[in-house]
Amino acid sequence: MAHTFNPTVLREYDIRGIVGKTLGTGDARALGQAFGSMVRRQGGKTICVGYDGRLSSPDLEQALVEGVCAAGVDVIRVGRGPTPMLYFSVYELDTDGGIMITGSHNPPHYNGFKMMIGKASCFGEKIAELGRMSAAGDLEQGTGTVRDENILERYVKRLLQDVDLPALEKAGLKVAWDTGHGAAGEVVSALIRELPGYHVLLNGEIDGTFPAHHPDPTVEENLVQIQDCVAQEECDLGLAFDGDGDRIGAIDGAGRVVWGDQLLAILSREVLEDLPGATIIADVKASQVLFDHIAELGGRPLMWKTGHSLIKSKMVETAAPLAGEMSGHIFFKHKFYGFDDAIYVALRLLNEVARTPGGLKALKDSLPKVVNTPELRFPCEEERKFHIVPEVHRRLKAAGADVDATDGVRVKTADGWWLLRPSNTQDVLVARCEAADEEGLARLKAILAEQLKASGIEPPPM
């Protein structure tokens, strides 16, 4: 009997598991044949496949390719690199889909798959359908071909296309880059050789054990090294990336973190100057400052559900030229393709910094001042996390609270707002609070803690 992939690795937005426990080459091969069958039934014949720098990725890639070919679909192997390079290859080579083998921002023993059917994300019901097809043996048979394509140079050339080189030359910026030993290392290394200014690359060698620090720039402790570098080298800013190069983190010249919603506010200016009245999307974790800022610039702010595939789908639906998440996924359709590419976002940010007196520090200082928490994460079992938020919602509605249930619960009070939602990618509940001052923030955190306790979650100090 043919191997079917472990259903426990199926997620809403990708397929992910622990290598050697819940995920192995048999799963990759089975997924490849199911995915190839889906592509073939939709009239497709060729897909791109790429992989990140994790130690398990080459073997998973080989098995996946075998599975795709067994469905009679041809494969173009674009090699090791960041997830956005795989997305780019699907557009550049005009294929019928793509699969990236990546564990994203997760620890080294994780791995998984991000997929495109045509030029759109493969998520939700399509992932569930892949599981059903594999379990039922409802698969196409055939003999696909395989060829290699070196896409990296073409990708770097495309990234450079929208860089304001004269502005960078004039500004003479000093920039620190930290790829965290992740898959963006070779691309960033090639890129900065072409950029004016002074550039320092940290952890540029791709190493799937991530020896320097965990590759997630949304966690402040992972930014300490680049903060130190910005201070020591007197850099204008620092840019950091997650394990597969689709999430960005930023540090200003004063060493302060510039969070994802603040970056989106900064980047929205040029887009709205070019496209007045355009819709700009942000997820429910974003600051109210962002939504107000977009409106003040003449744009239409839209709050939407967290999840890179959901955001990309909403961009298509609303023709939005720009969108982003607190997690550092930022999506440019303005002059680009509409997928989340942290390296491209870094370059667009450099344009803004180079054109602004005082640089990133001044851009951050120009935003209204509020006090807020970063993303707060509370461990919670996978099944339980999806029941807690409805419990909280029922209690809040019964109490007459002002609740937005777009994604989890976002609650407005006289002090500001707080949010609670289940993570899409980890066994945690995610929360955030924002107020005008520290006293108001303390009150919001107390309300959040009270609701968590009422559902049996003991919150750590916030």
Task: Just list the catalytic residues.
Answer: 104
Q: What is the DSSP letter of 415?
A: S
Rounded CA-CA distance 326/330 in Å is 9
DSSP-assigned letters across all residues of 93-106: TT-SEEEEE--TTS
Pairing of β 409-412 and β 416-422: antiparallel
Q: What burial class does residue 84 get, using C-beta atoms within 10 Å of its C-beta: 0-12 exposed, 13-18 middle, 19+ buried?
A: buried
Closest CA to 439 of 413, 421, 420: 413
Nearest to 3 by CA among 41, 32, 37, 46: 32
CA angle 195, 201, 79 (to 5 degrees): 85
Give the orientation angle of helix 125-136 with respect to helix 25-41, to 10 degrees. 110
DSSP state of 8: G
Within 8 A by CB and 6+ apart from 240, the residues are: 177, 178, 179, 180, 217, 222, 223, 226, 248, 249, 250, 251
Copy the structure tokens of residue 314.
Answer: 């909403």
Residue 111 host element (H or E): strand 110-117
DSSP 369: P
Identify the DSSP state of 10.
Answer: B
